[in-house]
Amino acid sequence: MTAGEQPPPGSIVGKRVVLRRLEAEDRPRVRAILEEPEVARWWAPRGPDVALDGLFDAEEIVYAIEVDGRVVGAIEYAEENEPDFRHAGIDIFLDSTHQGQGLGGDAIRALARYLFNTRGHHRLTIDPAVANERAIRAYERVGFRRVGIMRGYERDANGGWHDGLLMDLLKGELTAATE
Ligand SMILES: CC(C)(COP(=O)(O)OP(=O)(O)OC[C@H]1O[C@@H](n2cnc3c(N)ncnc32)[C@H](O)[C@@H]1OP(=O)(O)O)[C@@H](O)C(=O)NCCC(=O)NCCS
């Protein structure tokens, strides 16, 4: 953020989710989510505490995802503000009982609208593991397109490196919610 810019909003409202800035009090609940095998597999290869600390470092802006006042996951963005390459990258996780209901798409649409309309971005990126078919399917449903494979992109729990899929979404390509 540069001088004179508005800080990120405290909350962003979706259709069914509310995104609220992550706070220190959220740590136990978010840690419990990061411990769930279905989330840890993709988000916490070095364990929940490393992933949790990453959410609280200064680099990304992180929101808790709430449904009916309960924290069910988190979504974050990081901006590249170099003018010739300006874009924002996003990432997300939901607890296992809230996956597969379209809530991820709802949260992504809400954050994407903010990044396009308020932050003035023209391009968003997301980079799931190639094997994360559910995530890729969810992102395509929102309008993200497959750009290409990033080989040996991300470290996994056994110390190896697996491929990532770079996906991007240009302003105007965000799909309307159907759910
Ligand atoms: C990835 C994630 C955010 C997607 O959000 P979601 O709300 O669960 O997504 P949706 O409900 O829109 O479901 C996405 C699609 O995947 C499908 N799907 C569900 N489980 C699947 C599976 N195991 N394999 C492939 N597709 C699957 C759904 O049927 C749906 O397809 P459709 O569009 O044809 O109906 C969420 O599942 C999640 O947090 N997963 C665990 C952590 C994670 O992988 N984070 C992403 C890291 S990049």
pLDDT digits (tens, 9 = 90+) for 56-108: 987 899 999 999 999 999 999 999 999 999 999 999 999 999 999 999 999 99
User: What spacing in Å lies between the alpha carbon of 100 and ligand 1's midpoint?
Assistant: 5
Task: Give the mean model confidence (pLDDT) for residues 153-165.
Answer: 94
Could you identify the atom of ligand 1 that is nearest to the CA of residue 128? 48
Q: How far apart are CA 103 and CA 94, in angstroms?
A: 8
Residue nearest to atom 47 of ligand 1 (CA): 128
Could you identify the atom of ligand 1 that is nearest to the CA of residue 91? 48
Residue 2: its pLDDT value, please?
Answer: 62
96 CB less than 6 Å from ligand 1?
Answer: no
1, 90, 102, 114, 115 from 8: Cα distances, Å: 9, 15, 25, 9, 10
Confidence of residue 1 (pLDDT cuts 50, 70, 90): low
Residue 5: its pLDDT value, please?
Answer: 76
Task: Give the mean model confidence (pLDDT) for residues 29-52.
Answer: 96
10, 56 in Cβ contact below 8 A? Answer: no
Q: Which CATH number fits domain 11-170: 3.40.630.30, 3.40.1410.10, 3.40.50.1110, 3.40.50.620?
A: 3.40.630.30
What share of the chain in percent tops pLDDT 90? Answer: 90
- The rounded mean pLDDT for the chain is 95
Where exactly are the structural domains of the chain?
11-170
- Is the model's pLDDT at 23 over the cut of 80? yes
43 CB less than 6 Å from ligand 1?
Answer: yes
Task: Give CA angle at 174 (125, 167), nearest 5°.
Answer: 25
Q: pLDDT higher for 170 or 176?
A: 170
pTM: 0.94
Residue 150 class from Cβ within 10 Å (0-12 exposed, 13-18 middle, 19+ buried)? middle
Residue 171: its pLDDT value, please?
Answer: 96
What SS3 state is found at 112?
helix
111's tokens = 């954050």
Residue 80: its pLDDT value, please?
Answer: 96
